[in-house]
Amino acid sequence: MIRDASKVICDIIKNYMILDANQIWLYNQDYKIPNTLGLFVIIQFLGGRPSSISESFSDNISGGLQETLIVNMINQYQIDIQSKNNDAKGRKEEIIMALNSTISQQMQEKYQFKIANITNTFSNTSLAEDPSMYTKFSININVFEWKNKTKDVDYYNQFDISDIKIEN
């Protein structure tokens, strides 16, 4: 079963940290942080790079040919945890705990992706906001994901090369 890894990561953190749905969301979802003392977590896709691509062929139901392409990606996400008090500072380690928990491993297996070992550090990004307003920490994680697409392809068992023009 394929599901967007960023949404699964959101669910993992939300359940582990016992957050309400309005305390955690994906970046750029037109949601504003309320003016309260609560703890908030934002997950942002930063970018990715392909690590491999593979192609295979198989017969389809009608006897034709199908091509399947699979691309493996190393995607990077940034997870921000912030609060108007020191809750973000005191609970930032729970992000790492959530991502390494048993439920996280089970969800990764179910939805066919892998969170890489966490080697980055938390950065104090409070200065990016108004420092008097938020305590904010950020960590980047790598996630191994794959996508596939299968399409019917034209299949020819005889080729007429007389129409092919070759220039010298």
Residue 164 falls within a domain, yes or no?
Answer: no
Specify if 40 maps to a domain.
yes
pLDDT in tens, 46-68: 999 999 999 998 888 777 788 99
Within a domain: 62: no
- CATH code of 120's domain: 3.30.2000
Instruction: Please give the model's pTM, rounded to 2 decimal places.
Output: 0.81
**What pLDDT sits at residue 54?**
94
Rg (CA), the chain: 23
Structure tokens at 12: 């993992």
Residue-wise pLDDT tens digits, 132-158? 578 999 999 999 999 899 998 876 665
Q: What domain range is 20 assigned to?
A: 5-50+73-144
Average pLDDT rounded to a whole number, residues 104-112: 95
Is there a domain that residue 124 lies in? yes
Instruction: Give me the number of domains the chain comprises.
Output: 1
Q: Which residue has the higher pLDDT, 42 or 33?
A: 42
159 lies in a domain? no
**Helices and strands in the chain, H and E counts:** 4, 6
pLDDT in tens, 79-106: 999 999 999 999 999 999 999 999 999 9
Q: In this predicted structure, what is the pLDDT of residue 139?
A: 96
**CA–CA distance from 110 to each of 3, 23, 75, 85, 167 (Å)?**
9, 25, 18, 36, 54
Residues paired with residue 137 on neighbouring β-strands, in sequence order: 81, 124
Residue 68 domain-assigned (yes or no): no
Domain presence at residue 38? yes
